[in-house]
Amino acid sequence: MEISILGMNYAVELYDGLAREETALGTCTSDALLIRIDKSLKPDKHNKTVFHEIIHAALFELQNDKAARDEKMVDNIALALYQTLRDCGALNMDSLLLKNPSRV
């Protein structure tokens, strides 16, 4: 799956064991245009993590590296956006759920 973030096409991949290897539920590598999400996450946690990594990517693309590395701020913005869009029905949850047979 790819997500266009400020015009840049980021590949989004499910990764088995990411939380164990990186001690993170997701990672964003702007140089490689790659977002990885731990494969074992339940749908709601998965979606929150996708939003979190999108905010990282957006801030990197805006060349605001200091903000992009501020985990608390990134998490707060991601959570506020995710919950607002989800709760008002403006979010297509299916589009955030990557292909994963365990969720079918």
Binding site for Zn ion (CB under 5 A): 71
Query: In 10 A of CB 10, how many CB atoms?
Result: 23
> In the bound complex, what is the minimum distance in angstroms from residue 71's beta carbon to Zn ion?
5
2 vs 71, beta carbon nearer Zn ion: 71
Burial 64-103 (b: 16+ CB within 10 A, else e): eeebbeeeeebeebbeeebeeebeeeebeeeebeeeeeee
In this structure, are residues 62 and 6 in contact, taking their beta carbons and an 8 Å threshold?
Answer: yes
> In the bound complex, what is the minimum distance in angstroms from residue 79's beta carbon to Zn ion?
12
44 vs 71, beta carbon nearer Zn ion: 71
66 vs 99, beta carbon nearer Zn ion: 66
> In the bound complex, what is the minimum distance in angstroms from residue 69's beta carbon to Zn ion?
8
Q: How far is CA 86 from the centre of its chain?
A: 15
> In the bound complex, what is the minimum distance in angstroms from residue 47's beta carbon to Zn ion?
15
21 vs 71, beta carbon nearer Zn ion: 71
**For Zn ion, which residue has the nearest CB?**
71
| Residue that has been written with the tokens 């905010």 in this structure | 55
